[in-house]
């Protein structure tokens, strides 16, 4: 029984100390942060584009009437 517990403890320590998947998690976090920043910036960009089109529409409407 002690051997089984010893082997289980060794396997758990090995799994805890492994760093194989660490890079993947870091890349996933970077991608998530970029996606969040892009989503947050979309509102500002959309408002700027909307303002430009409204201004162009107003200017064209003034010259055609």
Domain segments of the chain as ranges = 2-64
- The residue behind tokens 């082997």 is 7
Instruction: From residue 14, give the alpha-carbon distance in Å to each of 8, 24, 31, 52.
Output: 10, 19, 28, 59
Tokens of 7: 């082997």
Tokens of 15: 């799994």
- pLDDT classification of 65: cutoffs 50, 70, 90: low
Instruction: From residue 42, give the alpha-carbon distance in Å to each of 32, 49, 51.
Output: 15, 10, 14
Q: What pLDDT digit, counting tens, does each position of 2-61 carry?
A: 888 888 888 888 877 776 666 777 888 999 999 998 888 898 889 999 999 999 999 998
Name the pTM for this structure: 0.45
> What pLDDT shows up at residue 20?
65
């Amino acid at each position: 029984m002690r051997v089984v517990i010893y082997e289980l403890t060794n396997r758990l320590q090995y799994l805890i100390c492994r760093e194989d998947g660490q890079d993947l998690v870091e890349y996933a976090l970077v991608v998530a942060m970029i996606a969040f920043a892009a989503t947050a910036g979309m509102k500002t960009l959309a408002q700027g584009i909307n303002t430009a089109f409204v201004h162009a529409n107003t200017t064209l409407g003034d010259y055609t009437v």
